[in-house]
A = this chain, B = another copy of it.
Amino acid sequence: MDHLYYGCAYYDEYMPFDRLEKDIQMMKDANINVIRIAESTWATEEPRCGEFDFSHVERVLKATEKSGIQVIIGTPTYAIPPWLAAMHPEVMADTHRGKNPYGARQLMDITSPIYRYYAERIIRKLMETVQPYSHVIGVQLDNETKHYDTCGPHVQKRFVAYLREKFGTVEALNRAYNLHYWSNAIDAWENFPDVRYTINGSLAAEFEKFQRSLVDEYLAWQADIVRPYLKPDQFITHNFDFEWRGFSFGVQPDVSHDKASRCLTVAGCDIYHPTQDHLTGHEIAFGGDVVRSIKNGQNYLVLETEAQGFPQWVPYPGQLRLQAFSHLANGAASVMYWHWHSIHNSFETYWKGLLSHDFLPNEVYKEAATIGADFKRLSPHLTGLQKKNRAAVLVSNEALSAMKQFPLPDGKTKYNDVVRWLYDTLFSLNVETDILFPSMADKLPSYDLVVVPALYAAPESLLQKLSDYVAEGGCLLASFKTGFTMEDATVYPDQPPHGLTSCFGIGYSLFTVPENVSLTGDDFSLEDDERKASVWMELVTPTTAQVIAHYDHPYWHKYAAVTRNTFEKGTAYYMATMTSPAYARQVLSLALQEAGLWGPEQTLPCTLKKGVNALGHTVRFYLNYSQQPVSVPYAYGAGKELISETTVTPGQTLELAPWGFAVVEENA
């Protein structure tokens, strides 16, 4: 990708009247140079079974071709037409909640051969239609694909086959998952009970893992269909999304991003996040780090992000710009809004685009136009940004699933809350990170610091790699719950953290829930309310570890809460309880110092991100996620602030407006 992409999703199909020329003109005015079309519009493209109508697609392709806007084609398969559900009711997925009715998108069974038959046909027809257009830069497979909890009879038969392949005999399965408990032991594969109702956490977690593998297979199947139609410079991407908590929060429970992305040439995602007083940059960074990391640092596509979005997300003046440059700062190759206009009815009427329902050039559109102009002007300087991060966060779909089966006692704190607790603290310390999945564990040695939130379920091999990482000189920081169960959620029958007791120099047999428990014994200057232990506490006894903090409690005071251990050539920190962000910041600061990652930028009054652009120059983004103006010392080589086009010299001060930013390209 040789220039920055700035764009949006465009739905000619949804327009209340013909707007195409006017819209193209308004896009050109805003320097929008790419749009994404066609996804989710199967019923328009095939209004009756076998009757195809790509007129909307073609007229948009023609208009964009003429005007020089490039296009990403989305296959339309994530929403099926009513006629398909009417002809073949069996394509609707059976789930834990029963058979899906037709209505919303993403309710079909992605493993259904019937669905696959019709989906392949429409994909091929669409590909044939768009193949002649050279301004199509790539294809997005489906959209936000997940397994949608498909678990009908044939999916379960595949799962039983998978278990038989894995275990050989029912006796081996019974033993592995302790199905003897509550008389769940299976007598024969053909009597396998409906897995939806199992109370066996291992079995349930294994089924979720199996369901995630269906997504890998599905996307690869679409990629195989699409690939023959493409020229070498046309990419295949997908729009990954994240755990949804009203916004893009954390690791996607229903997809293994590392595995599902293998069939893609470029990774893409959507990132939605709070704005106004709640804009922090955290989600933009987290989502970007995941999608950049699964493709080994390659620049990724932000295929969707909000323009106005929900009513509560209408950006303050300046925020849309800050958001756009935040994506670039993180390694994005594109910023594309969902969506151009605001839809006048149906379901997402209040998920607003750049334009409101009135199609007038509003304040948000006007600010977007300034971004478009800047992107155009700065494209040579901001394209192809490469990062070389020295810290990584290890996340795991298996740990997430296992902790869903065995939730923390407060019923609120999930796996991703633990991830975000540590991730956000790193962010606040201006530590840029890669995200590692277990499949990427061989990369561990390339980092100076590895942070491991709640790696509850992990195979022996992964724990061994973590131990080796420290032994060979790495700095590791892990939280409570790490190393408690095998990958299949079976608790290791020895002292936790399993396989890491030497590495951390600790062990524990008891754990409880903190009630009026604080941390004490450390050297940190913190307020009382920043010292509270919450959610979970392991009653840790150090063996070789140094105790950084213990519990302030009449009975638990003898146990350690935070420890540091020297293990062979490296160091390992363990946090046995959940703390305030302020407390975690203190512990992570120690680890950063240990790892040689401590510098002045860790305490800057703004966010700092950096990379090396295609010209080989270092580019630094100073991002002010706050309503106060800040002054930031510039401590690097002479260069140019790209937005203002002013010279920057070492030692000078950068002034950032509220929700403002600066981008400095070093001369060297």
Contacts and interface: CB of A to CB of B under 8 A. Distances in A.
Given A102-B193, A357-B493, A79 B182 contact: yes
A312 interface: yes
A82 B41 contact: no
A41 B180 contact: yes
A28 interface: no
Contacts of A347: 181-182, 199-201
Q: Could you tell me the dominant secondary structure of chain A's interface residues?
A: loop
A433 B425 CA distance: 56
A592 to B, nearest CB: 31
Contacts of A121: none
A103 B186 CA distance: 12
Among A364, A409, A490, the one with the most B-chain Cβ atoms within 10 Å of its Cβ is A490
B182 A105 contact: yes
A538 to B, nearest CB: 10
Q: Determine which residue in A11, A182, A184, A186 has the highest number of CB atoms from chain B within 10 A of its CB, and name it.
A: A182
Given A345-B177, A345-B178, A493 B358 contact: yes
Interface stretch (A133-141, A146-154, A510-518): A510-518
Contact of A187 (B82, B180, B489): B82
B178 A491 contact: no
A312 B86 contact: no
B358 A494 contact: yes
Contacts of A644: none
Given A82-B185, A187-B83, A493-B357, A43 B180 contact: yes
A484 to B, nearest CB: 8
A363 B308 CA distance: 57
Given A102-B193, A182-B104, A202 B491 contact: no
A406 B512 CA distance: 39
A79 to B, nearest CB: 4
Given A492-B357, A512-B312, A555-B317, A44 B180 contact: yes
Contacts of A349: 201, 406, 491
Contacts of A183: 40-44, 76, 79-82, 105
A193 B345 contact: no
Nearest to A76: B183
7 contacts: A47-B187, A82-B187, A178-B346, A308-B510, A358-B496, A359-B493, A360-B495
List the 3 closest pairs (A to B, CB-CB), nearest first. Answer: A103-B197, A101-B197, A79-B183
